[in-house]
């Protein structure tokens, strides 16, 4: 199956983003963004390179040791990049480089320089009003900025000028990244679809006495098969009690007959993340206790998706989710009391200790302001996860039949003018559908 009908963003989108960003800067200011650098795995081996999301958002350029400088002066906008110079010997060993000569055309910028010259060039290009720089994001960039500003201050008699203030650009770019374009939505849909196919494969391949890592490998195979080389985050493949560890990633235990398996995994496709969680029985049949807990979480998730529409907020919807969970826990005899009183006492905390969802995009936990206590109003173009859960650890003082059951159900949704669109609906979550699918082994 070929899902790559849009394999990447069009080049024009990166240029438009830079123009929108420049339009928000005051006159005689500049903004500088640094790429990621390669990270050493051991000895002379590096981890697979993954570009900094902010740098990618503005350039679409996937090389390390690069810098973007945007400036506005006398009503004119200018974009410049610093990149690694072409080097035939290094390229023979480590892969192709774009190089300085090709960069202006390939990246649609006004000019390009070698990264080796940045300490010489940057002081000459510092603005008189403000320099926008995200401190502590890329440490190598912090050093370059400090050196450039220091040099400019020390050489004011020679015509250099240091910006009187440094301003963090993250609030501006975070707001831009929060609202997805039509092309971004297409890539997120594909990431969600590929992630869904991997979950389908995992369900059909699950059986007692396999190891958690075997299911993880099945999912990675499916990601790769559809052009998503990497997972968007460390996959969680948690059998039985392991599902009560929210960020369990050891994935090295034997799957036991009669337990549930919680898989939280998603691919990264063209830099955009999918993020799905499904919980299902290892032997293909929910027990009575497992079914009871699962139905509470499913009811809560379906209600949340119904309510997450323009004008709503995560805070408001999560309150409704909490009421559903508390009512379910009371019905099971795990909690006792009136729902409103239990809500005010936060009696759900031992069983549900995380939020309802998070922004999704270039990062699996994407950037963007949530407001106070996640009360920001949802608007068209936002993409977020919806992931209620219940975690009934063996350590809790609850009826024995529920001990060790962990359930989370997670989908990705796009807020639209008509409500929302679920981007990950291809993988079932109804109990009967899961059981039927698991009977069809691949």
**Residue 366 appears among annotated catalytic residues:** no
Catalytic residue flag (residue 358):
yes
Distance linking the first and last C-alpha atoms of the chain: 16
Distance, CA of 69 to CA of 428 (rounded, Å): 46
432 neighbors 198 (Cβ within 8 angstroms): no
β 405-408/389-392 pair status: antiparallel
Q: Cα angle vertex 206, ends 205, 208, to 5°?
A: 135
| Of 212, 218, 275, 363, catalytic | 275
- The catalytic position among 365, 369, 379, 433 is 365
3-state DSSP of 355-369: CCCCECCCCCCCCCC
Could you confirm whether 264 is annotated as catalytic? yes
Catalytic site includes residue 340: no
Catalytic residue (choose from 184, 241, 264, 363): 264
Per DSSP (E only), the strands in 43-171 are 45-46, 67-73, 76-83, 111-114, 130-132, 166-167
Structure-token pair, residue 427:
């993988």
**Residue 150 among the catalytic residues:** no
- Options 57, 132, 348, 391, the catalytic residue: 391
Annotated catalytic residue within 96, 153, 229, 247: 247
275 among known catalytic residues: yes
Contact 348, 342 (CB under 8 A): yes
DSSP state of 95: -
Which one of 20, 150, 319, 354 is the catalytic residue? 354
369 is catalytic: no
- 365 annotated active-site: yes
| Residue in 97, 199, 201, 358 annotated catalytic | 358
User: 60: alpha, beta or left, given left = phi > 0 and alpha = psi -120 to 50?
Assistant: left
Are residues 206 and 282 in contact, defined by beta-carbon separation less than 8 angstroms? yes
155 is catalytic: no
Q: What's the number of CA atoms in the CB half-sphere (13 Å) around residue 396? A: 23
CA pair distance 327, 344, nearest whole angstrom: 14
User: Which tokens sit at 287?
Assistant: 């027990």
**Which residues are designated catalytic?**
44, 247, 264, 275, 354, 358, 365, 387, 391, 408, 410
């Amino acid at each position: 199956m070929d899902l790559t009908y849009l394999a990447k963003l069009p080049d024009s989108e990166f240029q438009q983003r830079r123009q929108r960003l420049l339009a928000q800067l005051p006159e005689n200011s500049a903004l500088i963004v640094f790429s990621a650098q390669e990270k050493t795995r051991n000895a002379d081996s590096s981890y697979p390179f993954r570009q900094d999301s902010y740098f990618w958002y503005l350039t679409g350029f996937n090389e390390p040791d690069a810098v973007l400088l945007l400036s506005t002066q006398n009503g004119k906008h200018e974009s410049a990049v610093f990149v690694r110079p072409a080097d035939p010997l290094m390229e023979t060993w480590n892969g192709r480089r774009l190089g300085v000569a090709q960069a202006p055309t390939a990246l649609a910028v006004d000019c390009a320089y070698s990264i080796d010259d940045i300490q010489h060039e940057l002081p000459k290009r510092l603005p008189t009003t403000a320099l926008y720089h995200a401190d502590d994001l890329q440490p190598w960039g912090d050093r370059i900025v400090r050196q450039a500003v220091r040099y400019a201050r020390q050489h004011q008699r020679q015509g250099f000028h240091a910006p009187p203030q440094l301003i963090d650009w993250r609030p501006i770019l975070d707001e831009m990244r929060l609202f997805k374009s039509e092309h971004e939505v297409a890539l997120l849909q594909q990431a969600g679809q590929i992630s869904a196919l991997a979950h389908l494969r995992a369900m059909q391949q699950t059986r007692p006495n396999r190891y958690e890592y075997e299911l993880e490998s099945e999912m990675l195979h499916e990601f790769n098969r559809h052009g998503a080389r990497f997972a968007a985050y460390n996959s969680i493949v948690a059998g039985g009690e392991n599902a009560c560890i929210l960020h369990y990633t050891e994935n090295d235990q034997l799957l036991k007959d009669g337990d549930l398996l919680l898989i939280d995994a998603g691919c990264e496709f063209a830099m955009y993340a999918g993020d799905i969680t499904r919980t299902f029985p290892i032997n293909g049949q929910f027990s009575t206790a497992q079914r009871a807990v699962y139905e509470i979480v499913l009811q809560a998730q379906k209600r949340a998706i119904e309510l997450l529409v323009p004008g709503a907020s995560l805070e408001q919807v999560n309150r409704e989710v909490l009421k559903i969970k508390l009512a379910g826990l009371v019905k099971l005899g795990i909690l006792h009391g009136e729902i409103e009183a239990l809500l005010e006492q936060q009696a759900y905390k031992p069983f549900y200790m995380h939020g309802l969802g998070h922004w999704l995009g270039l990062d699996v936990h994407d950037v963007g302001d949530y407001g106070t206590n996640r009360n920001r109003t949802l608007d068209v173009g936002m993409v977020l996860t919806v992931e209620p859960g219940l975690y009934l650890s063996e350590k809790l003082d609850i009826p024995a039949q529920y001990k060790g059951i962990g359930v989370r159900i997670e989908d990705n949704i796009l807020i639209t003018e008509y409500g929302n669109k679920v981007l990950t609906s291809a993988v079932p979550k109804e109990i009967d559908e899961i059981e039927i699918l698991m009977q069809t082994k691949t």
